[in-house]
Chains A and B, each alone.
Chain A
Amino acid sequence: MRPDRDLERELRELGPRIEYPPTPDLARAVRRCLEEDAGPAPRRGWFELPVVRWAAVAAVVLIAALPAFSPALRDTVGGWLAGGQGAGQDAGGAGEAAPAGQGEEALSADGSEEVTLIEDGAESRAGVPRSGGGPDMPAFGGRARSPGENPGYGERIPLREARTRLAGREVLLPGLGEPDEVYANGSSRSGVVLVYRAGPGLPALGDTGVGLVLTEVPGSVGSAYFRGETPDVAVVEEVGVGSGRGYWVPAGRRPSSLTDRGGDLSGNVLLWERGGLALRLAADRPQREVVRIAESVR
């Protein structure tokens, strides 16, 4: 029997002798494809944008300088920067991550068409503007977001156009209702990102002001969200979602093979498949609650 090193040598010598088909001129074809596609230019990392960097620097300087001004001014500006939840904070501190199990969801009588998030007596349902959710109110991290400003998930599109980004498949919605915003990233199979703003019972993911993100991509969980296709079951936890299987990735335990498709957010992530779509739900809620929301997706 030949030792491995001989086999390796043979393979090395074989490599240059492999006859491949001629390489097509992909460069021109790709450029033509990109120019014909009405999609957006590559999405830059949110913090890479110079205006965002300067805005962040300005905000830090402003905060540092606040004590030099009057307490009233400090409180006012601090309120803008800290919350973004406005009335939501008055209604029970939304915007801060609730301890696991504190929030409860209630399914509607017919099963799971609606998911209502209840926290400390405040109630909201996605689709109905939550606290701080008006178009001119601060959202997404508490910044005074101008109407139409893009949070970095791609191109903002109307919900009715989502189907065209899912290779013709129907967009699936959780019992929370219609999302506050929908984004897509260009090509017809790249999927859509449904964004629900933070509010009572739906704390913000990190400092984004986003409460829940549902990403839908044609294909399988492995192909859509994992490099190397197969979820690393040594890191992710397999959970039941309805009669199917899902993968739970707790915040802070991201396997390196998990891509940041759908946003690299700080919350817990659940991945599962339904109707030919690979779904990724990110929320700062406990597993049981996230699974219930996932099971409400239709």
Chain B
Amino acid sequence: MQFARSSLRDHHGVREPSGFRRCNRAGKRSSGRAVASEDAKLAERAKNGDTVAYEELVRGHQAVAFRTAYLIVGDASEAEDAAQEAFVKAYRALGSFRSGAPFRPWLLAVVTNEARNRRKAAGRRFGLALRAAREDSPGEGASPEAAAVAAERRAELLAALGSLREEDRIVIGYRYFLQLSEAETAAALGCARGTVKSRLSRALARLRKKMVEDENATG
């Protein structure tokens, strides 16, 4: 299944697929601080039972939540269920959310747990569903041959990544694909920043080893 290439970004920098309705607030926000401030206000209103405020909060984070779940479960429908259930659970648990704290890392911790639970419950091994766009963006100036080589390299990288164990895939996916900060990754995984660093280092080493093995195998 081929998905439309992304072209838009929501206010957290997560790209929305082209053709998908753009977040109303996306164009109004330029700084992370403003986003955090508005998130804090919405979270406070949601704590008091304002489901409209929570709906707006969800809209601002649904893309990153869905993609986080997708990286774990590898299935669009399952990821949608996981993300939706995570938002509902997060709403129920807003009482334990510290006022003024960043909402996204806290939410992603809930999403991560929900997605992992669903994947475990389904008893399925992660199926590599990630694809990279084959074409380079217009204006990148690569020759057709170079673009083809680059596309092949990306496919090999994703294939090698798909063969790693879950912990490795998740930490790499969070840091490089979702572009979460170390602190956000640590919060989402429920570990210290130092642990993220060491896990990422080990994951990269295993990925590199796998790439070399694959290269040697194909001659």
Interface residues, chain A, CB within 8 Å of chain B?
Answer: 1-2, 4, 7-8, 10-12, 14-31, 33-35, 37, 39, 41-45, 48, 152, 185-187, 190, 219-220, 223, 226-229, 256-257, 260
Contacts and interface: CB of A to CB of B under 8 A. Distances in A.
Interface string B139-150: 000000000000
A16 B136 CA distance: 11
B34 interface: no
A27 B55 contact: yes
B4 A22 contact: yes
A34 B158 CA distance: 37
B80 A24 contact: yes
B161 to A, nearest CB: 8
Contacts of B62: 23-27
B35 interface: no
Nearest to A186: B92
Contacts of B201: 4
28 contacts: A4-B204, A7-B211, A11-B172, A14-B158, A18-B132, A20-B6, A22-B4, A22-B17, A22-B20, A23-B17, A23-B62, A26-B62, A26-B80, A28-B55, A29-B84, A31-B54, A35-B51, A41-B49, A42-B47, A42-B91, A42-B95, A43-B96, A223-B113, A223-B120, A227-B189, A228-B112, A228-B191, A260-B96
Contacts, number: 171
A189 B153 CA distance: 44
A270 B51 CA distance: 35
Nearest to B48: A41
A28 B20 CA distance: 15
Contact of A20 (B17, B51, B205): B17
Given A23-B63, A30-B58, A2 B91 contact: no
Contacts of A226: 190
A187 B89 contact: yes
Given A18-B177, A20-B17, A257 B49 contact: no
B4 A18 contact: no
Contacts of A227: 109, 113, 189-190
Given A15-B176, A229-B116, A48 B95 contact: yes
Contacts of A187: 88-89, 92
A269 B112 CA distance: 24
A263 to B, nearest CB: 10
Nearest to B13: A16
A285 B91 CA distance: 33
B183 interface: no
